[in-house]
Amino acid sequence: MTQDEIEISVTEFKAKCLGLLDRLSIGKLKRITVLKHGKPVAVLTPPTSAKKASLESIFGCMKGRMIAPPGFDFTQPVFDEEWDAENGILHR
């Protein structure tokens, strides 16, 4: 076990999980092995750079794809009809 890899009991992991995951995400830890009764039950590693890049590419992928007509007011409701629920109709 190196300094950037740790083995930790389930109980201790439960108490410290947020801090450990923060250390894992910023690269201070490379691997966390969670032990239950001295046997490994989980191994946590940060996502590979390809997975991380693909996850990051999801955000903002639709930017510029939708255009509102000139003068469109985003603060006004666009549905002018009554809702079924207002009339006591729960489903059709």
Rounded Cα–Cα distance for residues 14 and 19 (Å): 10
CATH architecture of 1-46: 3-Layer(aba) Sandwich (3.40)
> What residue ranges in the chain does DSSP mark as E strands?
5-9, 31-36, 39-44
- Residue 8, pLDDT score: 95
Task: State both tokens at 50.
Answer: 């390809």
pLDDT at 18: 94
The domains of the chain are located at 1-46
Digit-coded pLDDT (tens) for 19-62 = 999 999 888 999 999 999 999 999 999 877 655 666 667 777 77
Beta bridge partners of 35: 9, 40
Give the other-Cβ count within 10 Å of 32's Cβ: 20
Q: Which residue from 34, 52, 51 is spatially nearest to 43, judged by alpha carbons? A: 34
